[in-house]
Structure 1
Amino acid sequence: MHTEDDTKLTPREVRALARDNKLTAATSALCPDYVKASLLILPVAYADDFLRFASWNPEACPVLEVIREKPLSSFLAPGANLCTDFPRYRVFLNGEVSEEVREVKALWNIGSVGFLLGCSASFDGALLAAGLPVRHVEEHRAMPIYQTKLRTCPAGPFRGPVLVSMRPLPQAAVKKAYQLTEPMELVHGAPIQIGAPEEIGIADLNKPDFGEAASIRDGETPVFWSSSATVQAALRFAKLPLAITDVPGYPLISDIRNDALPELFQKEKARV
């Protein structure tokens, strides 16, 4: 949960609070006009397998940036430290969550590769600007995320179920939400399921696997987008000796506004 004052923070201020261990807010509900990114840190030996997994599952794992040198080199958030500027981290050992911590500086070494993955919270600003409700922002909650019976396309040791984020929308707003998010492939794009959560294996919307349940009001339909939290399940199957992620609902907030991401991303690809 966060306070009304938190909604006025800039991305740099949010990251500074996280770095100083003073932020408990769900960052998925902050700075809705800015690109947000989930994190994966792997030993270099598994980096190519993960890139192949991501390329075969682009809706669930859109890669925004690969950081192979030091954790301070992000073009999405210059000066940000991937090891300190997320509010919470998960450390996986042999596929199981070993602990949740506030920083992972001691775990980034010369053999580490970092991935910043698109987060669907990035397009909340576009929905809000169009007059559509975004319930987890309204209620100051971490975005609800659910495991489904849909499966990813495996690559190397990576495989497992697809996870999805959910936003309840009035039926009349669903088409507009689809149109707004479909072009935003870098942050998961269009919804993959509209209504009927049981069809994708979700039994109870009041019990998300990650984040917090969002209120669904009369006349609203749950709409589901692929989530980069899919990585959490893939790591359980991969059973790598070490991996690090953010905690779902607590992504990094970049300095890039959502409407600037496509052009900037194309420039970065051309540069490398």
Structure 2
Amino acid sequence: MVRFSNNLVGILNFITFLLSIPILIGGVWLSRQGTSECERFLDRPVIALGVFLMIVSLAGLIGACCRVSWLLWVYLLVMFLLILLLFCFTIFAFAVTNKGAGEAVSGRGYKEYRLGDYSSWLQKRVNSDKNWNKIKSCLQDSKVCKSLIDDRSTPVTDFYNSRLSAIQSGCCKPSNDCGFTYETPTSWTKTNTTSTNPDCNAWDNNVDVLCYNCQSCKAGLLDNIKSDWKKVAILNVIFLVFLIIVYSIGCCAFRNNREDNSWKRYP
């Protein structure tokens, strides 16, 4: 009679196997249909994740249901490494996202973002020209500033009271330090300024340039990443608990296999 732990491991891995199929199909679709560098950037990680889940789930399914001890051992080893990796990533995610926040500006509904407020590790990622050129291309493709570009009749008081996202505030308008004169949300008259903020020289009214080369744009992106990573880290904690439970059940199934093999060897 197949024991409960073996059945449970088999069911869980069968579900994981079914989930890996649409993930793999999605990765292949991205590699064939992706029209931009941003879309194609995701295809290899998605395909790798789909293949990984498929192989690991098959190892756990066959190992538990067919009593193949060595496959179940490989499955448990991979699960242990996955738990260790996820634990380290969760700690790292909390560590690099504990700094940085938007700065409230008097008389403004939006916040301003400064690159130096964020962790040095994140700053290094966006200060790399190679990385930033790809990120900038993705931001332009995603049309983060489109709503501001289209709404050219917004009165200055309404714009100053608007609730812009971190990326919109950093990439789609000049810094408040520059003191430029407002014309439209994405068109400003440059004035002589004593500000030492380098973003003042980087700003351009061209809709393909705007403040995509500004430090504030990088900071706005990092604020967005920080928020997303914190959510991911919290989900990781929940997923870690789930993985540890599955790993414990898998250990019971492995022990069952060894006991059954010993019983068959020595009747």
TM over 0.5: no
Higher relative contact order (CA 8 A, sep 6+): 1
Which structure dedicates a bigger proportion of its chain to helix?
2
Which structure dedicates a bigger proportion of its chain to strand?
1
Calculate the TM-score normalised by the size of structure 2.
0.22
